[in-house]
């Protein structure tokens, strides 16, 4: 089904088998929406490439690259990508819905203290180690791209500026051609 332009998303709209429930936020490349996956009966997050970005072939390429980069990583501290969809107007990335706050929201003016700094930084380092082992360099790691759940689990988000090792990218392109 045609979904129209990203900015025209409204609560109740369907994108494939995902029903839009609520807007979660917006970033440099688009908006993030909470949606219900009717096939697997779970809540997901859908990142929608913004109208301005959707018309830019380089941004569309980066958006798809982000989905491919993150989806190739299976790690508890890296966001899980479930699907990527597109229509004539936009691109949609479906990912796990992470409940919690960004590290940016959690860091008080005085910091978070030594114990939490070690807890968070160890998980971030482990996520980056896994990404680097797969030939992926994040390149946009900042507090706003790190979610922390209420239980203290860290999830690294937004691989939109990731640099993928040329050998890895060629392998993925070959796999998509077959």
For the segment 101-138, what is each residue's pLDDT rounded down to a tens digit? 999 999 989 899 999 999 999 999 999 999 989 888 88
- Least confident piece of the model among 33-47, 65-79, 103-117, 158-172: 158-172
> CA dist 163 to 43, 130, 139, Å?
29, 14, 7
For the segment 28-43, what is each residue's pLDDT rounded down to a tens digit? 677 899 999 999 999 9
Determine how β-strand 136-137 pairs with β-strand 30-37.
Answer: unpaired
Residue 90 CB neighbour total at 10 angstroms: 25
Is residue 27 within 8 Å of residue 63, measured between CB atoms? no
- Least confident piece of the model among 11-20, 49-58, 168-177: 168-177
pLDDT at 90: 82
Determine how β-strand 42-49 pairs with β-strand 14-15.
Answer: unpaired
> CA dist 79 to 10, 13, 145, 175, Å?
24, 24, 10, 23
Average model confidence (pLDDT) for the chain?
A: 82
How many angstroms separate the CA atoms of 162 and 69, rounded? 7
Active site residues: 150
pLDDT at 1: 39
pLDDT at 151: 95
Is residue 3 predicted with pLDDT exceeding 90? no
Is residue 161 within 8 Å of residue 171, measured between CB atoms? no
- The predicted model scores a pTM of 0.78
């Amino acid at each position: 089904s045609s979904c129209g332009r990203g900015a025209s998303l409204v609560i109740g709209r369907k994108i494939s088998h995902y029903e839009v429930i609520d807007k979660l936020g917006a970033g440099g490349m688009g908006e993030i929406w909470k949606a219900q996956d009717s096939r697997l009966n779970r809540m997901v997050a859908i990142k929608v490439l913004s109208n301005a970005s959707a018309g830019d072939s380089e941004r569309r390429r980066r958006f798809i690259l982000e989905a491919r980069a993150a989806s190739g990583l299976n790690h508890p501290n890296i966001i899980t990508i479930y699907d990527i969809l597109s229509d004539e107007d936009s691109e949609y990335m479906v990912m796990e819905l992470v409940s919690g706050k960004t590290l940016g929201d959690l860091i008080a003016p005085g910091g978070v203290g030594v114990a939490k700094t070690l807890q968070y930084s160890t998980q971030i380092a482990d996520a980056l180690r896994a990404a680097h082992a797969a030939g992926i360099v994040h390149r946009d790691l900042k507090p706003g791209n790190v979610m922390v759940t209420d239980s203290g689990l860290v999830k690294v988000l937004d691989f939109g500026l990731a640099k993928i090792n040329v050998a890895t990218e060629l392998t993925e392109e070959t796999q998509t051609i077959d």
